Chain A
């Protein structure tokens, strides 16, 4: 009706195009943090971070980028690595694989980084690993808990694997929940692969899987599933449904009386970020098994120190939590630091050879060491239970747990 006086013309188009072009060329989602000491004789060592700063899992990516900034600053403040400062390059993978590949290519080809840390989802890792490792000839550290089976050379995983999350956790669930398990799951690679392992451990420990079912990733009504759980008198719901579905799912379970009848919720990606999805009463007694919980800080001074440093530098919504790969990022960068020190250079093969058996004595949740030849990381694991909106640690692994991968 009144659209005729705003016809697009050539000049307006060109000026808009020029603006958009500039924004694209400089990259709105990338930034560089240069070391603040300029007296270095040699060039800085370049550390690349490729993580989801925007999009649905931005909360995890931002926490990971924060951890990287913190660790790099710590290393620089202590005099750098091999007498050289570290320079941090952060690229946004935007929770979108096709955007990510382009941005990661920038890290490799334009910035020529010596290491890439990042990726949160498995699909992201699969999308960017070839760009980094094969065509990019660069070292890659993947920091998130995941389904295992990633055995690409020069790709090191520093998050927990199914073995680490299930071997001690599931026997505990059988003892403190019951023998009848339900495996409701989101329909993508992590739940499918994790469930194969979990089922094996459940059955080996005398438990039984009543049903294993997969749902579309955006399903938010679970009445049929809840009914199946209640009518089959399931003892333990070993959940791999992810947000947004998990909130309504746990709420419907609660309303159907699952917890009141003594049912136990279990979910191995649940950390401090996910606690707020439900009211505390709806997930009372939920058990999780991860490499770190904030509840560890009173008993572990090293964890307390790292947590305090993070909270001081980055107060706000992006938490230092295991489920968002923040602990894996910390561990990965520190292990890499040790490896570079041992190798005495940043050459990929030399660092990879040293990283293969790298160890750190201090990390979130305890020490960590790479298993030689496996490119996966041994670490301590903790079982925690949600009580009144907080976690309480109720079991700790004896020493470091083997990832059992590759």
Chain B
């Protein structure tokens, strides 16, 4: 595999690195946010139903 070598590596490497960072950030932010709101909603629903949220 021809990874990050040659005279154009300074253009190719940062492009793929930036893409990896943005995709990782989008994925982590999306999953963390979803989990957090789901837990809050479930805890409030359990509270409303008179159950122990734990």
Are the chains A and B members of one assembly? no
Binding site for A on B (CB under 8 A): none
